[in-house]
Amino acid sequence: MITSTLESIGNTWKATWADKVFIRKFNITLAACMVIYLTIANLLMMNKDRSGMLLNDPIQAFIQPRDFSYIIFFLTYLGVSAFLFHIISRPQTMQRAFIGFTAVFIMRAIMIFVLPLAPPEGQVTLYDPVVDLFVVGSAAQLKNDLFFSGHISDLSFLIFCTNNKTLRSFLILVAIIVGFLLIAQRVHYTADVIAAPFFAYWGYRVFVADKDFSL
């Protein structure tokens, strides 16, 4: 089954590669999204020492904070990898998903600057080896990029962008577990996690939904 799937993906991309106009547009889109994402991620480091409002989170009051970084990292990238394997056979939809994903990230950066929040009391630093590779100064220093949760908005966006019931169910489960662990580790307030899917849905509706293709 895996062999046939990989063969199908290969055939799809062979046919797609013959469309020079689309490939040029795809490459430009991918490069632009990566540049925008990395630029904003590094700009957010300028916000790391900015003061903000401390929220009273009643849920966190009942949870002893612990470090769940490795579990969060594993589950998040497992979900992302599963989605990419699903979507890679759909180059046209993949392009739109890149745009929507980047748009949600831009909206998140705007909200972080517009609504500055102080880290929850007792916050345990979240380590993400992948992000640390690309963000100047190490993302581990960034503790107040709070509203809204990037992990949950990313996973929620992927959930909205798939009609595959098995994959969608898996991603929903991952998002629920990761959301709880983010709150338990006090990386985010409960409000950050709850709000994230709404922004993700905005990105999906504006940039992906009701197009001439299906994910």
pLDDT of residue 212: 45
What's residue 8's pLDDT?
Answer: 67
Q: What is the pLDDT of residues 103-148, one digit of tens each?
A: 998 999 899 888 888 888 888 888 877 776 666 555 445 666 788 8
Contacts of 146 (CB under 8 A, 6+ apart): 52, 112, 117, 119, 188, 189, 192
Mean pLDDT per 10-residue interval, the chain, length 215 residues:
65 77 88 86 72 84 90 94 88 87 91 86 84 59 76 95 92 97 94 96 88 45
In this structure, the chain runs to a length of: 215
Q: Are 145 and 47 in contact (CB under 8 A)?
A: yes
Q: d(Cα 10, Cα 32) in Å, to the nearest integer?
A: 25
Query: DSSP secondary structure string, 84-124?
Result: HHHHTT-HHHHHHHHHHHHHHHHHHHHHHHHS-BPPPTTPP
Question: Is there a contact between 148 and 199 (Cβ–Cβ < 8 Å)?
Answer: yes
